[in-house]
């Protein structure tokens, strides 16, 4: 009987933990009131102009959605978010790739689509855990060679960015094991 009770208790605890992970907090105040149980935070469409530093108190945070805000940068303290695997920063006001993202050790997916990013820094090579990078609809003209050091990168979205044929070929050669999405190339700068 005790084996059955132990199994039941472990199953219940595992189910409870998964249920907590499935909750999406859409209000920072509510999240802070439950900070030990927050795994997914959605602060999209909140008109944020700066990254709320209170988010750093959410030590179990795995997914964060800050899309459709007015962010232009991220603080270096974001590196304190040790468990973040997915960050959505689409439709903000970024003109450069946020360097703070290169300090996230567990990050697997970065979504920066629909910003105005003009360059990717060489420091991108630090994000060894990255599997998916979405840069769809930015103002890039080239990708740094250092992106080839992202050996876990499985998917790179570069649609709605006008690269020359030569640059497309170079990017493909840098990432032979990555699925890369391009729009049709332009005849610019060849």
Is the four-CA dihedral 95, 69, 136, 41 of positive or negative sign?
positive
pTM: 0.87
Q: What does the pLDDT read at residue 11? A: 58
CA distances from 83 to 9, 153, 179 (A): 26, 18, 25
Could you report the per-residue pLDDT of 132-160, keeping only the tens digit for each? Answer: 999 999 999 999 999 999 999 999 999 99
CATH code assigned at 115? 3.80.10.10
Residue 8 has a pLDDT of 60
Residues 6+ apart with CB under 8 A from 62: 21, 39, 40, 83, 84, 85, 86
Any idea which residue has 């630090």 for tokens?
Answer: 126
Residues of the chain with pLDDT under 70: 1-20, 185-190
Domain that holds residue 50: 2-182
pLDDT at residue number 190: 45
Q: Which two tokens stand for residue 155?
A: 């998917």
Is residue 187 in some structural domain?
A: no
Give the count of domains, the chain: 1
Note the pLDDT of residue 22: 79
pLDDT at 142: 95
Q: What is the pLDDT of residue 184?
A: 72
Q: Locate the DSSP E strands across the chain.
A: 24-25, 40-42, 63-65, 86-88, 109-111, 132-134, 155-158, 179-182
| In-domain check, residue 190 | no
- Say if residues 66 and 44 touch (Cβ distance below 8 Å): yes
Specify if 189 maps to a domain. no
What is the spatial distance between Cα 162 and Cα 158, in angstroms, rounded to a whole number?
A: 9
The two tokens of residue 11 are 């199953």
In a domain, 188, yes or no: no
């Amino acid at each position: 009987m005790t084996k059955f009770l132990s199994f039941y208790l472990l199953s219940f605890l595992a189910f409870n933990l998964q249920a907590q992970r499935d909750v999406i907090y859409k209000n920072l105040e509510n999240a802070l009131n439950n900070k030990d149980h927050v795994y997914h935070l959605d602060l999209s469409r909140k008109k944020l102009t700066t990254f709320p530093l209170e988010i750093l108190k959410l030590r179990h945070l795995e997914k964060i959605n800050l899309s459709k805000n007015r962010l232009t940068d991220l603080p270096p303290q974001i590196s304190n978010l040790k468990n973040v695997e997915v960050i959505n920063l689409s439709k903000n006001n970024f003109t450069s790739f946020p360097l703070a993202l290169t300090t996230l050790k567990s990050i697997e997916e970065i979504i920066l689509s629909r910003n105005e990013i003009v360059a990717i820094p060489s420091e991108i090579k630090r994000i060894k855990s990255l599997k998916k990078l979405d840069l769809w609809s930015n103002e890039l003209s080239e990708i740094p060679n250092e992106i080839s050091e992202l050996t876990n990168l499985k998917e790179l979205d570069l649609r709605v960015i006008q690269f020359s044929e030569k640059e497309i070929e170079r990017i493909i050669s840098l990432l032979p094991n990555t699925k890369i999405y391009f729009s049709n190339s332009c005849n610019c700068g060849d």
